[in-house]
């Protein structure tokens, strides 16, 4: 019982005896690590918000550390201590590239923010500040969108995949995609374990509302059933989100999933009048496709 306490006290004494410079470096590392860990839960809520908060936090931390300690500490050492958590993050991504490629901006963007803070600290010309701010803003918004689209869907089959004979279940019977009247069919493919899918439902509903009076476009929710789930599982979730768009269901063996290479969610498919897949990607880019078709 006493051994851990004695060990802790010995470490505390060692810390107290440390040089002030060493303590400061250690403090900066601890602050960076705490900021890194504190922002981790945000990733599960929204990747873009997480990237934005991380950029703002580490830009501010780097600028403050240089302003406070630059006169008595090595500036490169200051930056290194703040970057350390991200170096570990990079190592993790190198070790598991298949599963972490999509969220690479969550590492790259904070590093960009740290670099921007260093440049602005030593060169505070207004044009440079505006240029770096614009670059960072683009990276967090459109740049991140483009990366997620490529990393998540760039390798998926998108065109020349016909699903005219594929069937979906509407709660009462199986319906062939070729029998749906609208020229274009937009399917939001999701599962009950996909938090991002459920959070995006109001946006899918808004897209449905936009085209609900159109006879050219049908926007619907396509639920993938796992284990004992049924379409009722989907209807309950959709209702809780305050949505009322059409809901269909398929099981995991559906030809829709295999033909489009869907193994994770969310996925948005756009099918033309012949039920060829003309888009396989995210909701944001699906909306752009619909706009480009003047629909």
- Would you say residue 64 has pLDDT above 60? yes
Residue for token pair 């090595």: 74
CA distance 136 to 118: 14
Look at the alpha carbons of 9, 11, 71, 116 in this order and tell me if their dihedral is positive or negative. negative
- When mean pLDDT is compared across 17-21, 30-34, 109-113, the lowest value belongs to 17-21
In this prediction, residue 69 carries a pLDDT of 93
Burial 129-149 (b: 16+ CB within 10 A, else e): eeebeeebeebbeebbbebbb
In this prediction, residue 13 carries a pLDDT of 46
In this prediction, residue 12 carries a pLDDT of 46
- When mean pLDDT is compared across 26-30, 91-95, 171-175, 183-187, the lowest value belongs to 91-95
Map out the domains of the chain as residue ranges: 2-153, 161-292
In this prediction, residue 248 carries a pLDDT of 95
- Would you say residue 27 has pLDDT above 70? yes
In this prediction, residue 4 carries a pLDDT of 58
| Cα dihedral value 80, 81, 82, 88, nearest 10 | 90
The pair of three-digit structure tokens given for residue 258, joined into one six-digit string: 């295999």
Find out whether 183 and 264 touch, Cβ atoms under 8 Å: no
- Would you say residue 14 has pLDDT above 70? no
Question: Rounded mean pLDDT of the chain?
Answer: 85
In this prediction, residue 61 carries a pLDDT of 96
Please write the tens of the pLDDT for every residue from 150-170.
766 665 555 556 888 999 998
Please tell me the CATH superfamily of domain 161-292, with its number.
Answer: Glutaredoxin (3.40.30.10)
- The residue count of the chain comes to 295
Average pLDDT of span 190-207: 92
């Amino acid at each position: 019982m006493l051994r851990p306490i004695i060990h802790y006290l010995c470490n505390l004494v060692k810390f107290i005896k440390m040089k002030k410079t060493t303590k400061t470096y250690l403090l900066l590392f601890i602050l960076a690590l705490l900021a890194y860990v504190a922002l981790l839960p945000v990733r599960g809520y929204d990747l873009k918000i997480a990237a934005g908060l991380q950029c703002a936090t580490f830009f501010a931390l780097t600028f403050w550390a240089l302003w406070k300690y630059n006169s008595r500490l090595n500036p490169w050492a200051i930056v290194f201590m703040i970057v350390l958590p991200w170096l570990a993050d990079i190592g993790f991504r190198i070790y598991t590239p298949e599963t972490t490629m999509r969220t690479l901006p969550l590492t790259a963007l904070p590093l960009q923010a740290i670099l921007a803070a260093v440049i602005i600290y030593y060169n505070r010309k207004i044009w440079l500040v505006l240029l770096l701010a614009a670059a960072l803003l683009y990276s967090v918004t459109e740049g991140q969108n483009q990366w997620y689209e490529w990393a998540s869907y760039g390798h998926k089959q998108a065109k020349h995949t016909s699903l005219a004979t594929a069937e979906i279940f509407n709660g009462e019977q199986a319906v062939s995609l070729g029998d749906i009247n609208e020229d274009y069919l937009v399917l939001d493919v999701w599962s009950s374990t996909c938090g991002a899918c459920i959070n995006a439902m109001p946006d899918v509903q808004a897209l449905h509302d936009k085209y609900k009076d159109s006879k050219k476009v049908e926007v619907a929710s396509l639920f993938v059933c796992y284990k004992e789930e049924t379409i009722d599982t989907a209807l309950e979730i959709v209702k809780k989100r305050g949505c009322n768009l059409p809901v269909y269901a398929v099981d995991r063996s559906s030809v829709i999933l295999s033909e489009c290479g869907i193994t994770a969610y969310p996925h948005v498919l756009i099918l033309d009048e012949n039920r060829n897949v003309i888009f396989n990607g995210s909701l944001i880019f699906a909306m752009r496709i619909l706009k480009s078709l003047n629909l």
